[in-house]
Structure 1
Amino acid sequence: MQNRRDTYPIDTAAKLFPPTARPTNTSVFRLSVLLKESVNPKALQQAAETTLKRYPYMAVRLGRYGFEQSDASFAIQEETGTPCAPFDSAKEPFLLRILWYKRRISVELFHALADGTGGLEFLKTLLYSYMVLLGRDIDPEGKVLLPEGAMSDEEYEDSFLKYYDGAKAPVYKLPPAFKIKGGPLPAGGRNVLHGVLSVDGLKRAAKRQEATITEYLCALMVYSIYRECINESLDDEPIVLSVPVNLRGAFPTRTIRNFFCVINVSVPIGHAKTFGGALRIVKEELRQKTQEKNLRDALAQSCAVMEHPVVKAVPRFMRDAGTRFVFAFFSEDVKTMTVSNVGRIDLPSDMLPYVDHAETVIYPTERSPINCCMCSVDGKLTVSFIRTVKETGLMRYFFGFLARETGEEVTVYTNDWGTLDGKV
């Protein structure tokens, strides 16, 4: 049993999510692994209980003074709804779900609890515990936080405050970005479309363009949006991708909580008309904005407002109203889509024979009705689109381009919500 506390602090980034969460902006993301055999629910339930004991700061609910330890019994669920559904605090005593469906094991987290990197650590421990319970001989290779390991205070620290030096960084109001529009799916419905392909083929295609995989895929996203969503006679706003960046690479930390910033990659319509033009701008923007100085500015921007003494002194309802205003006009208004690359999921080699591929899904919002997330495991990359609109041209063009340019087969599948006879 780990040392438990009654409460855990809410990190600086997490303060954004509770005031802005609503059914059309759930602030819930998903991490999944597709196994090569059907899930054993009994073993998964045991693994969930064991894992939550290892991560007591994840077994919490949102209280008045921070995250409060939840003493309710945790139960895994067979998946029946659509991904990234909102959490109902009146009915759900936790801020995470563990779901299973056929061969899939999924962890869904309210974003206030952790970011993708922290969520992956939790998922890896869950998978390790599950496989050990099934009698598998797994050498963790130092890649998994073991269920019997000791929790450290660093795991739930607020790394924003640890590395914030009090410096001020300018905050600019950016111009409005192009918005994707379309006919809405039935209320509450979220279609998820996944495409799986070889990492090696994608690496070769990106290398030919002297680009990283993230740069290549972001440029392709911009070009696909231009090809399928923009009417030139009506739209001259830039296509802007919001790209979450893991700050752990620049600032060493063991935190499982949120520790990321978001950079906006803005491509003028004139450059988006060709893939090469889009790629040139994407490379310039990503490389410049991920330099250490600019990441420090992004960290300062996150902390300067939320940690300002005047802001902290005002009543909570006023602070929450201000947060919603900032979110609407400095986040939602200035982006077209979120594109998040969670990266390679580094599993122990003994676990890989039992894993087919992985999925990551990030919630859509009212003004970003299509968002995209990607991850890889054991040489397979999965690109996952989530949408609340009926139109599918963007995804069809994106995966068609990938298949042509990489020479790799792209396996596409969907949850069928919002499709006609399973056709996308």
Structure 2
Amino acid sequence: MKDNFKSNWYPLDNAGKLYPSIMSWRVSTLFRISVTLTETVDKDILQNALSKIINRFPYFQVNLRPGLFWYYFDYTENIPKVEEEIYYPCMCLKLKKKNQFPFRVLYYNKKISVEFSHSITDGTGGIIFLQSLLKEYFKEKNIFSSEPKNDFFNYSDYPKAEEFEDSFKKHYNKNIPVPNKLPKAFHFPVNLENKGVYHIVTGIIPVRDILSISKKFNVTLTEFLIAVYFETILDYIEILKIEHPNLKLNPIVLNVPVNLRNLYNSSTLRNFFTTVTPNIDPRLSKYSFEEILAYVHNYMNYKVNRRFIDQYISKNIKSELSILNRITPLFIKNLVLPFAYSRLAEGSYTSGLSNLGKISVPKELEPYIERFEAYPPPSEGNKIKIVTISYKDNLYITFGKLTTDKNIERIFFSKLKKMGLNIKIETNDTF
């Protein structure tokens, strides 16, 4: 760290600053990326692999520390320890505890999982870390003798400054206006599960088949899934109306993260994403699926470009640099931000859908890896979220839920089955 950076501490990036103050049992801020191997995980080899690669990621080899106005990350020479998984996924990480890393590496039978707090990185950073860990793990097992090709970087090199940068601030333009405020969103009227419990439902679908259907509609896979999710929630609302004739409705607003690295030519491994918010108002009569698809396709084409993304970056940086944020002590932020996040952030969304895309590994490792999957961070305000990821022949669509209600995922997967898709359902609960 000292060889490459000016100091052994650094501030949280613009997206990460909020998370330590809002963390709780139900809002853990933890997302997960998992890999299932073809054989049982060797704990000792996994620990050796982690110990060897962590120095290549000094921006992750840190502990959270409280400052006067904001939290910051402090570099540590300590090495994280792998842990056997025994709890529900993505549950509370005591990030503020002394010597606690902002991530953890878990193993169970054939599965290796990394869980990162969003305070330190996003899905792209998490995937690259897991890919690196896998490479070193199999190298320790003598699966290959030479370096696999097409790596993200050479792990024997020193970290590059661009991996460490806060790309939000780099691409901030103070002259760009902020976007308009979102309307208050519809929320699922379902009961919260007990604290510490997180339900996971994953649908496994042949990726070629679902891509074929998306292509027939002339939309991307992400746009297709967003449209199916909108129609799912609209159908769910019709069920609710029967039981609650006076049900109060608001627009359905989806939080859809967008990886900004390609748009801005960034190589940062810290957070660099924003969210776009397609929305449909259920009070405006019925929608056909084709209408929803056309809206989503046009919205994503319109919004996912630098002209509009610049506005979101401008909004977030201006908020961070405001006089109020700069002079408010951290202990007050810890009291106020959870409430503000619940009302102003989660209150603006019905749910979230994130597509992490296609994940790959060196060809030499493919025979030893069965699958990848990802879990969204639990959210008290958005009790149900979706994350998708694909590997080789399959797409993995995962619902993360803080409720026992099963209506949403049942409607969603039923729609896909009616389109002729074969779906295998897996869950840590009854379905």
TM-score, scaled to structure 1:
0.92
Q: CA deviation at 1:295?
A: 0.8
- SS of alignment partner, residue 123 of structure 1: helix
Q: Which residue does the alignment assign to 2:362?
A: 348
Aligned partners of 2:309, 2:320: CA distance in 1, in Å? 17
- SS of alignment partner, residue 299 of structure 2: helix
In terms of mean alpha carbon deviation, does 83-92 or 59-68 score higher?
83-92
Aligned partners of 1:410, 1:394: CA distance in 2, in Å? 16
Q: CA deviation at 1:326?
A: 4.2
* Per-residue deviation, residues 41-64 of structure 1 (Å, max 9, x unmatched): 111111111121211210111113
Relative to structure 1, is the Cα distance of residues 364 and 271 closer, same or farther in structure 2, using a 3 angstrom cutoff?
A: farther
2:304 aligned residue (290, 305, 328): 290
Paired residues of 1:241 and 1:264 also in contact (CA < 8 A): yes
Aligned partners of 1:33, 1:226: CA distance in 2, in Å? 34
In terms of mean alpha carbon deviation, does 263-272 or 353-362 score higher?
263-272
In terms of mean alpha carbon deviation, does 385-394 or 282-291 score higher?
282-291
Q: CA deviation at 1:2?
A: 8.4
Paired residues of 2:54 and 2:79 also in contact (CA < 8 A): no
Aligned partners of 1:271, 1:213: CA distance in 2, in Å? 26
- SS of alignment partner, residue 56 of structure 1: coil
Structure 2 stretches lacking a partner, 5+ long: none
Structure 1 stretches lacking a partner, 5+ long: 417-422
2:46 aligned residue (34, 39, 44): 44
Q: Which residue does the alignment assign to 2:92?
A: 86
> Does 2:73 match 1:67?
yes
1:299 aligned residue (301, 313, 316): 313
* Per-residue deviation, residues 354-400 of structure 1 (Å, max 9, x unmatched): 22111111122122111110111113211111111111121122122
1:207 aligned residue (205, 215, 232): 215
Q: CA deviation at 1:245?
A: 0.7
Relative to structure 1, is the Cα distance of residues 321 and 265 closer, same or farther in structure 2, using a 3 angstrom cutoff?
A: farther
Q: Which amino acid aligns with 1:85?
A: M
In terms of mean alpha carbon deviation, does 24-33 or 221-230 score higher?
221-230
2:225 aligned residue (217, 220, 241): 217
Aligned partners of 2:52, 2:155: CA distance in 1, in Å? 6
1:387 aligned residue (386, 394, 401): 401
Identity of aligned residues (%): 29
In terms of mean alpha carbon deviation, does 134-143 or 340-349 score higher?
134-143
Q: Which amino acid aligns with 2:123?
A: G
- SS of alignment partner, residue 294 of structure 2: helix
Q: Which residue does the alignment assign to 1:308?
A: 322
Q: Which amino acid aligns with 1:134?
A: K
Aligned partners of 2:285, 2:259: CA distance in 1, in Å? 27
Q: CA RMSD in A?
A: 2.1
Q: Which residue does the alignment assign to 1:125?
A: 132
Q: Which amino acid aligns with 2:384?
A: I
Q: Which amino acid aligns with 1:336?
A: T
- SS of alignment partner, residue 86 of structure 1: coil
Q: Which residue does the alignment assign to 1:420?
A: none
Q: Which amino acid aligns with 2:390?
A: S
In terms of mean alpha carbon deviation, does 290-299 or 277-286 score higher?
277-286
Aligned partners of 2:64, 2:286: CA distance in 1, in Å? 42
Paired residues of 1:36 and 1:354 also in contact (CA < 8 A): yes
Q: Which residue does the alignment assign to 1:281?
A: 295
Aligned partners of 1:273, 1:121: CA distance in 2, in Å? 40
Paired residues of 1:267 and 1:282 also in contact (CA < 8 A): no
Q: CA deviation at 1:164?
A: 0.8
Number of residues paired by the alignment?
417
Q: CA deviation at 1:249?
A: 1.7
Aligned partners of 1:32, 1:373: CA distance in 2, in Å? 12
2:271 aligned residue (246, 258, 270): 258
Paired residues of 1:344 and 1:376 also in contact (CA < 8 A): yes
Q: CA deviation at 1:335?
A: 0.6
* Per-residue deviation, residues 282-338 of structure 1 (Å, max 9, x unmatched): 222222111220011111111111023553233333445554454233311111101
> Does 2:149 match 1:115?
no
- SS of alignment partner, residue 142 of structure 1: coil
Q: Which amino acid aligns with 2:172?
A: Y
Paired residues of 2:25 and 2:195 also in contact (CA < 8 A): no
Aligned partners of 1:317, 1:274: CA distance in 2, in Å? 49
Aligned partners of 1:144, 1:171: CA distance in 2, in Å? 34
Q: Which residue does the alignment assign to 1:412?
A: 425
